[in-house]
């Protein structure tokens, strides 16, 4: 069935949904498939604590790779506030080209109070949206798994959290963050702001396929989250997800309104395994799910594409209030590097070493300030990096 032209039901022209993209894709020369080929990674340290956690992640990644006979070439580029300060653009063309010609992109964090007053087009967050859109990284994978050693760091009771292991699949380059028209106008003599939440059938289909395939690797349960009782865009979402679900009879599909899903994530998070939802709802629910683990500083994410490099980044922000003070938690950045190895570079053995090192240092009792617990040793970002390298060197890390 032909997809409805964007804006047709609204009586609008059919604008380009990806208004942030104004670049021609460049051919991507892939490395030869041999053990000696270095994995090409574009590194975006960004703003705030970004450079600190990046330094730790790269040192740990190189050590884990060396143990498995894998090597990396790192190309550093600017994004966010740092890019705006240097070039006047939060996502310069040089950064786009470096990312597009890499095997994967490892991003730390962007933004900060310094740039809050900039026009929308110049804000660091706009640079991040442009990055995702330019690479067509449409599927965001956000795992939220409660580590037993950190269960007491959450504000929820241990008995609610034990055994929580869920994955949120968020559509990342469509919906209200990219929909057109958007902007400001006037109605009845007062200023109004407007944004358009719009999805095509093909956009919903491709994220649904990602979610169903992910569910197959887990417990084969998928919850699609929408607001189909009041939003036409959600009615289309539910219709398409249901249709795609017929191709996956081995996966149990259920639907849930977003307000109920938000409540159940706190009330009974173990009832979920894999969730799929839109850009806006996924943004909110994935941050809520992150706090089940006790700290945003512990969670990685992957934004993947069908035809280019993925973007791998921690879910936390740039924390400008602690930048440069050696207080940052680098573990989510290290775990993001592990996701990159597993989903972006095809070297799961290196990912396993990184994940084992994180588990080992937490089991040893060391913590950064954001996950500090009574009776545990609180250390800084650099010391956590050293602890990870020691864990990698131990036989148990393998």
Active site residues: 177, 227, 259, 283, 287
Would strands 377-378 and 190-194 be described as parallel, antiparallel, or unpaired? unpaired
In SS3 terms, the chain reads as: CCCCCCCHHHCCCCCCCCCCCCCCCCCCCCCCCCCCCCEEEEEEEECCCHHHHHHHHHHHHHHHHHHCCCCEEEEECCCHHHHHHHHCCCCCHHHHHHHHCCCEEEEEECCCHHHCCCCHHHCHHHHHHHHHHHCCCCEEEEEEECCHHHHHHCCCCHHHHCCCEEEEEEECCCHHHCCCCCEEEEECCEEEEECCCCCCHHHHHHHHHHHHHHHHCCCCEEEEEECCCCCHHHHHHHHHHHHHHCCCCCCEEEEEEHHHHHHHHHHCHHHCCEEEECHHHHHHHHHHHHHHHCCHHHCEEEEECCCCCEEEEECCCCCCCCCCCCCCCCHHHHHHHHHHHHHHCCCHHHHHHHHHHHHHHHHCCEECHHHCCCCCEECCHHHHHHHHHHHHHCHHHC
How many C-beta atoms surround the C-beta of residue 191 within 10 A?
8
First-last CA distance in the chain: 51
Token code pair at residue 397: 């890390």
CA–CA separation, 323 and 51 (whole Å): 9
Nearest to 339 by CA among 104, 74, 45: 104
How many C-beta atoms surround the C-beta of residue 158 within 10 A?
11
How many C-beta atoms surround the C-beta of residue 273 within 10 A?
17
Q: How far is CA 128 from the centre of its chain?
A: 11
């Amino acid at each position: 069935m032909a997809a409805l032209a964007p804006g047709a039901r609204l009586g609008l022209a059919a604008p380009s949904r990806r208004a942030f993209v104004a670049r021609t894709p460049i051919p991507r020369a892939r490395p030869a498939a041999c053990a000696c080929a270095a994995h090409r990674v574009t590194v975006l340290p960004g703003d705030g604590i970004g450079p600190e956690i990046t330094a730790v992640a790269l040192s740990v990644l190189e050590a884990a790779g060396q143990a498995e006979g894998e090597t990396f070439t790192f190309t550093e580029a600017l994004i966010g506030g740092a890019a705006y300060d240097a070039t006047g653009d939060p996502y310069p063309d040089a950064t786009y080209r470096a990312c597009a010609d890499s095997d994967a992109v490892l991003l730390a964090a962007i933004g900060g109070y310094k740039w809050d007053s900039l026009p929308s087009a110049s804000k660091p967050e706009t640079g991040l949206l442009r990055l995702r859109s330019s690479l067509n990284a449409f599927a965001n994978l956000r795992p939220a798994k409660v580590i037993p050693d950190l269960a007491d760091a959450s504000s929820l009771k241990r008995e609610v959290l034990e055994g929580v292991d869920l994955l949120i699949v968020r559509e990342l380059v469509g919906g209200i963050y990219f929909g057109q028209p958007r902007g400001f106008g006037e109605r009845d003599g007062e200023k109004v702001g407007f944004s358009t939440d719009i999805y095509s059938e093909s956009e919903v289909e491709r994220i649904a396929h990602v979610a169903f395939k992910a569910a197959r690797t887990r417990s084969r349960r998928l919850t699609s989250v929408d607001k189909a009782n009041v939003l036409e865009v959600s009615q289309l979402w539910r219709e398409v997800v249901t249709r795609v679900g017929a191709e996956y009879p081995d996966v149990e599909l259920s639907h849930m309104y977003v307000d109920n899903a938000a409540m159940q994530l706190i009330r009974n998070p173990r009832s979920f395994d894999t969730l799929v939802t839109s850009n806006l709802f996924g943004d909110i629910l994935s941050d809520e799910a992150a706090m089940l683990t006790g700290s945003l500083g512990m969670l990685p994410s992957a934004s993947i594409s069908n035809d280019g490099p993925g973007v791998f980044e921690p879910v936390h922000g740039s924390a400008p209030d602690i930048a440069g003070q050696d207080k940052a938690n680098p573990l989510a950045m290290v775990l993001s590097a592990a996701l990159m190895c597993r989903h972006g570079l095809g070297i799961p053995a290196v990912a396993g070493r990184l994940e084992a090192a994180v588990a080992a240092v937490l089991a040893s009792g060391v913590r950064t300030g954001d996950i500090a617990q009574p009776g545990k040793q609180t250390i800084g970002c650099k010391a956590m990096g050293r602890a990870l390298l020691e864990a990698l060197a131990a036989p148990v890390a393998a």
